[in-house]
Amino acid sequence: MSAPPAIAVSQLRKLYGEKAAVDGLTLAVPRGCFFGFLGPNGAGKTTTIRMLLGLLTPSEGAIEVLGRPMPEEALEIKRRLGVVPEESVLFDRLTGAEYLEFAGRMYGLARGVAAARARELLGLFELGAQPKKLIADYSKGMRKRLSMAAALIHRPELFLLDEPFEGVDAVGARMMKDLLLDQVRQGATVFLTSHVLEVVERLCDRVAIIDRGRLVLEGATAELRSGAETLEDVFVRLVGGERAIERLDWLR
């Protein structure tokens, strides 16, 4: 018997008053897949991720993560997730090592294992040169690196990543991408949102595009393009290509 999808949502809706941030989304993400979840600003991507994490309650619909229902088995699901939110929510008065050890302990690692993995991850992400530096003094890119390190420390089955490369320099972003690709090769699943479509096109096996909370396209990345089209061309055609581009006389 084949394993259930890493993520399965059915007729998912989230209402704020009468406005639907997510409107009838049905989607299945296969296990062992690098999956891109795309949409313009305000399309409902972050709202969807927050529902997958159990941080928001759906107005309607059903969610299963790693074959378990959310929110009924939220605690067991969260033990098996690695999360990098769009806005890094970190404990600013801790050092990077202290934060990673704390994250490892929260995921059930023994104290010695958490400390050893924290040291190794700080070295890997080039955050160990100033061990006493507080997270409050980290740059945005350093905070993203630390968030990724915390997401990796317990070797999760599923990564939920909301703009994980934003603010990270080219060397750090390349290292993070290579790490994620290696995790997928080992059987993990990555669910990624990013506005940098060239990155999505290079990394992702499958892609879904949503607009105004509704799914407009889903499939294998290579099959979604037509002829010489790039993923960016497809995206713009679907969610913004018909909008007139006005020229300003003073820019001509």
Burial of 199 (0-12, 13-18, 19+ CB in 10 A): middle
Q: Is the dihedral of CA 224, 227, 228, 234 positive or negative?
A: negative
Its pTM stands at 0.93
- What is the tens place of the pLDDT at every residue in 98-111? 999 999 999 999 99
Q: Which residues contact 182 (CB under 8 A, 6 or more apart)?
A: none
Whether the pLDDT of residue 246 is over 70: the answer is no
As given in the structure block, the two tokens for residue 114 are 């958490």
Query: Quick check: 122 and 149 in contact, CB under 8 A?
Result: yes
Identify each DSSP E strand in 58-188 by its residue range.
Answer: 60-65, 68-70, 81-84, 158-162
- What is the tens place of the pLDDT at every residue in 133-160? 999 999 999 999 999 999 999 999 999 9
At 249, is the pLDDT very low, low, confident or very high (cuts 50, 70, 90)?
confident
Alpha carbon 48 to its chain's center: 11
Whether the pLDDT of residue 243 is over 60: the answer is no
Q: Which CATH class is domain 7-239?
A: alpha beta
User: Mean pLDDT in the chain?
Assistant: 93
Distance CA 121, CA 153 (A): 8
Domain boundaries, the chain: 7-239
Give ∠ CA 188-191-192 in degrees, rounded to 5: 130
The size of the chain, in residues, is 252
Distance CA 210, CA 235 (A): 10
At 79, is the pLDDT very low, low, confident or very high (cuts 50, 70, 90)?
very high
Whether the pLDDT of residue 56 is over 90: the answer is yes
What pLDDT is attached to residue 240?
A: 75
- What is the tens place of the pLDDT at every residue in 172-201? 999 999 999 999 999 999 999 998 999 999
> For residue 142, which of 171, 162, 119, 109 has the smallest C-alpha distance?
171
How many Å from the N-terminal Cα to the C-terminal Cα in the chain?
Answer: 63
Burial of 228 (0-12, 13-18, 19+ CB in 10 A): exposed
> For residue 146, which of 155, 156, 138, 154 has the smallest C-alpha distance?
138
